[in-house]
Amino acid sequence: MADTLPSEFDVIVIGTGLPESIIAAACSRSGQRVLHVDSRSYYGGNWASFSFSGLLSWLKEYQENSDIVNDSPVWQDHILENEEAIALSRKDKTIQHVEVFCYASQDLHEDVEEAGALQKNHALVTSTNSTEAAASACLPTEDESLSTVSCEMLIEQTPSSDSESAQEVNGAEVTGEKENHCDDKTCVPSASTEEMSENVPIAEDTTEQPKKNRITYSQIIKEGRRFNIDLVSKLLYSRGLLIDLLIKSNVSRYAEFKNITRILAFRDGRVEQVPCSRADVFNSKRLSMVEKRMLMKFLTFCMEYEKYPDEYKGYEEITFYEYLKTQKLTPNLQYIVLHSIAMTSHTASSTIDGLKATKNFLRCLGRYGNTPFLFPLYGQGELPQCFCRMCAVFGGIYCLRHSVQCLVVDKESRKCKAIIDQFGQRIISKHFLVEDSYFSENTCSRVQYRQISRAVLITDRSVLKTDSDQQISILTVPAEEPGTFAVRVIELCSSTMTCMKGTYLVHLTCTSSKTAREDLEPVVQKLFIPYTEVEIENEQVEKPRILWALYFNMRDSSDISRSCYNDLPPNVYVCSGPDCGLGNDNAVKQAETLFQEICPNEDFCPPPPNPEHIVLDGDGLQPEASESNAIPEANSETLKESRNLGNLGNPEEPSE
């Protein structure tokens, strides 16, 4: 591949995360020659989405990543006397404290067919206390990149092998008797079963009830391709910068989206739905008529709070929580506004920040449904790939599994002039964009990173059961102890194409104060219970059951000043990884800022020309003449805008 690469480009982008992909698309669209490389085997970096087996392979990759030994660099022979090199890191240290737990029953009689899946250890059946068996079932091991690794396989013991239930993976159906042949819902015992049960009274067989349907680990493995598990959990504000950019650039045609159907609150140990729209408020049975009027009056003020500075003058220095106490709001309404609308905590936001967040929430209502949020089908990892596709359409060149050894810097001008890749090829460019994780410890020695605590759960039902099992929900659980942070919970159903039928995919996110498990496990215990055979038989259990869980910490490199990096040339730009925020505005702002530095007089991701109006011989209409008709404006409320965002239907109605 390296032999066929051109030796010169205008822009070289290292890393395929969302900011890098947006910049690559914008530069390619403006006519720049773009080379976009990533040492990983997948697009997205820490913005990626994986199938279940792909996620296990990702964990294994991080384990093997710790074993890399930095041999004597071959690129040194390619550095001239008037040059110096900035070595790039071969290890990705952005993920730490990985802990994996499997609570689903280990039906070891079934073969694992999904490629890249964990192979189940039969020794676990006879000895659940064997540390060797447990270790063999774990992918990660302790190292400097994964500082804490744990894997617990909770095995359910059954009275006899005959009671193991057979699985029909495609239909997710379970039968209670293993040796029965079923046809047209009529079960006929096989000969071997009859021989084994000669001395068993027939009455017992006819009255035996099949076990309750259950989901096993093997079933999750076999249905693994139905999962699309995001490393970073985010949503799109319907009037946010990313939606506007997707519409403006027409990149929205590469993706489809669904509405978040409900916003939840956690109070007094219970999960309840929060009214969002005017209709929801007045239809709510949890609010009194007086509270409904109080809430509508306050929300109306928040929509135009800039016009009434006297209403909040003098409160700028206090928290939004303290400000809400001064308003005519009941404690119930204060809780709803603080945690479910402004989505902040008691100490996190000032009054102005809280009012801005509330206004942003309200202005996004109604554009595509009753909530302000959208979620991309197949996961957040689709978005970087959409912009990569746009870049490729306009001539960008892509190389995955292609590592860059170093940046070559001219000693006299102090500018970066080239890269040297894993094959020793020197590739010249004018501008270089590098994702933060590619820099070595020497370059980042003065950088102070924050961390994001993440948990991914596969559960058997929703945190709040309703008539429909296809609900997409967001829930904020407030922090209870000083020094901790509110936890954001996003629950996805199978219609989002992120999990198999009969399961839910739950993402938990917060700013780290400890390890991910220490930060998030208290919230997990409030909302869920482990999946065990005892609880399966108890149909009165209110909480959803956890089938599988993953905890990890992710580096937050957002909002780090460029000056914190050591000796970066002026034409080398740093792109950060995901931040802890709910939306994607930070990535879009960063991409646009860096693009304006590279191409100061160019439009940022303009609409593509209409192919029908492109005339190769130069006669007739020029592409620019039709750009205004190729896609609606970002603030348009037309049906065209809805179609550009894929399967959302009428913008005034939520998609079910």
Q: How far is CA 109 from CA 124, 161, 217, 536, 545, in A?
A: 13, 9, 11, 20, 23
Q: Share the mean pLDDT of the chain.
A: 78
pTM: predicted TM-score of the whole model, two decimal places? 0.80
Least confident of 144-153, 436-445, 545-554: 144-153
Q: What is the DSSP letter of 56?
A: H
> Residue 206 pLDDT > 50, yes or no?
no
The beta strand positions in 466-581, using DSSP E, are 473-477, 487-492, 504-511, 529-530, 545-556, 572-575
Q: How confident is the model at residue 152 (pLDDT cuts 50, 70, 90)?
A: very low
Read off the pLDDT of residues 532-582 as tens digits, 9 standing for 90 and up.
755 555 555 678 999 999 999 999 999 899 999 998 999 999 999 999 999
Asked if residue 423 has pLDDT above 50, the reply is yes
In which band, very low, low, confident or very high, does the pLDDT at 317 lie, cut at 50, 70 and 90? Answer: confident
Tell me, rounded to whole angstroms, the distance of Cα 45 from its chain centroid. 11
- 88, 440 contact by CB (below 8 A): yes
pLDDT tens digits, 75-124: 677 788 888 999 998 888 899 999 999 998 876 544 555 544 444 333 33
Of the chain, the percentage scoring pLDDT greater than 70 comes to 73
- On the question of pLDDT at 193 being above 60, the answer is no
What pLDDT does residue 253 have?
Answer: 93
Q: How far apart are the first and last CA of the chain?
A: 45
Q: Residue 607: what residue type?
A: P
CB atoms within 10 A of CB 398: 18
pLDDT per residue as tens digits for the range 606-622: 988 777 766 655 544 44
- Kindly report which listed range (559-568, 580-589, 624-633) carries the lowest average pLDDT score: 624-633
CA distances from 110 to 220, 329, 515, 572 (A): 12, 57, 35, 52
Assign 643 a pLDDT band (cuts: 50, 70, 90).
very low
The whole-angstrom separation of Cα 581 and Cα 326 is: 27
Residue 480: the pLDDT is 80
Q: For the residues 341-347, what does the mean pLDDT come to? A: 84
CA distances 330 to 149, 294, 313, 515, Å, are 45, 8, 22, 36
What integer pLDDT is reported at residue 576 of this predicted model? 95
Of 9-18, 206-215, 274-283, which range is least confident? 206-215
- Give the confidence band of 169 by pLDDT, cuts at 50, 70, 90: very low
Q: What are phi and psi of 363, to 5 degrees?
A: -70, -20
What does the pLDDT average to over 382-398?
Answer: 96
pLDDT of residue 583: 93
Biggest alpha carbon–alpha carbon distance for the chain: 94
Residue 617 pLDDT: 53
**47/174: higher pLDDT:** 47
Q: Which domains does the chain have, with CATH numbers?
A: 8-91+378-447+560-598 (3.50.50.60), 277-364 (1.10.405.10)
Residue 586 reports pLDDT greater than 90: yes
Burial code (b: 16+ CB inside 10 Å, e: under 16) for 494-525 equals bbbbbbbeebbbbbbbbbbeebbbebbbebbe
Rounded-to-integer distance, Cα 86 and Cα 73, Å:
12
pLDDT at 69 over 70: no
Q: What is the pLDDT of residue 420?
A: 93
Q: Where are the beta strands (DSSP E) in 15-92?
A: 34-38, 49-50, 83-87
Given a cut of 50, is residue 238 above it in pLDDT?
Answer: yes
pLDDT tens, 482-536?
778 999 999 999 999 999 999 999 999 999 999 999 999 999 999 999 877 555 5
Predicted confidence at residue 502, as pLDDT, reads 92
pLDDT over 70 (residue 210): no
Highest mean pLDDT among 276-290, 409-423, 536-550: 409-423
- Beta strands 572-575; 431-435: pairing state: parallel
* Per-residue pLDDT, 559: 87
What pLDDT sits at residue 573? 96
Question: Does the pLDDT of residue 255 top 60, yes or no?
Answer: yes
Task: Determine contact, residues 232/46, Cβ cutoff 8 Å.
Answer: yes
Q: Extract the tokens encoding 23.
A: 């910049």
Q: Would you state the pLDDT for residue 451?
A: 96
To which H or E segment does residue 408 belong? strand 404-410
Query: Are 532 and 103 a contacting pair, CB within 8 Å?
Result: yes
pLDDT band for 199, please (50, 70, 90 cuts).
very low
